[in-house]
Amino acid sequence: MEQLPKSRTEPDGSAVIRVLSYNIRSLRDDEEALARVIRACEPDLVFVQEAPRFFRWRKHAARLAAKCDLVVLGGGATAAGPLLLCSLRVFAERTQDVLLPRTAGLHRRGFATAVVRIGGVRVGLVSAHLSLDRTERLAQAGMLLDRVAGMEVPYAIAAGDVNETPGGAAFGRLAQALQDCWTRSPWGGEHTFPASASAPDRRIDAVFASAGVEVLACGVPVGLAGVSSTDLQSATDHLPVLAVLRLPAAP
């Protein structure tokens, strides 16, 4: 497999970063396998979905971050499941956990959001896990885009479990407003679910980036050094999406 660019800050202040999106199913599977996958991807940012939300959830999130040589940036139960982890390369300006309107009979959803600086670049972040209900999911996609627009930053990255394939209305709405990183620079594997099957058959997890972000590579890290198929299948029921992005220095 083609070798991925390493994270770095360039002399002009621009930054090359690694971004990972991962639904971890509340750490109900093999946590050691999960940590090995995350560490091997060497991410600067991890957009987590289905983080632990109940008893001692902060302790569980902090333990996972420590195993991956990362720290907790924001989110968790206070965002109804989405979580943000980051490396020490990332400087946090502000974080905000957002609970979305509840629909009777459906699981409550939320966003873990942050504005950070990496190198000389400011970037907004949104980790999301959209609804299983089509109508609610489409509305949540609009709320996500409104949240991105309100951050007032040069660049933004949104990632998560969209709960539908690219042909769906919510996925299409996101991809129309933001870059779908897989389609910009496909690398590795495409399909993200189900991880336990012999051949995952759908792409329902994605990384999106605002205009101006250069997508160097994006896909499921199959074949990446240190990432075994056994660990990918044991870690959780989704496969992760790894994107390498270049954030140009803002004028």
In a domain, 179, yes or no: yes
Residue range(s) defining the domain that contains residue 44: 8-247
In a domain, 3, yes or no: no
In a domain, 122, yes or no: yes
In a domain, 165, yes or no: yes
Q: What are the pLDDT digits (tens) for 30-89?
A: 999 999 999 999 999 999 999 999 999 999 999 999 999 999 999 999 999 999 999 999
What is the Cα–Cα distance from 126 to 171, expressed in whole angstroms?
A: 15
By C-alpha distance, which of 214, 154, 148, 208 is closest to 181? 208
Whether residue 104 is predicted with pLDDT greater than 80 in this model: the reply is yes
- Report the SS3 class of residue 127: strand
In a domain, 1, yes or no: no
Q: How many domains does the chain have?
A: 1
Helix axis angle for 134-149 and 169-177, nearest 10°, is 10
CATH number at residue 85: 3.60.10.10
The pLDDT of residue 199: 84
In a domain, 44, yes or no: yes
Omega before 194 within 30 of 0, i.e. cis? yes
Whether residue 8 is predicted with pLDDT greater than 90 in this model: the reply is yes
In a domain, 228, yes or no: yes
Q: What are the pLDDT digits (tens) for 174-224?
A: 999 999 999 999 999 999 999 987 789 999 999 999 999 999 999 999 999
In a domain, 141, yes or no: yes
Q: What is the mean pLDDT of the chain?
A: 96
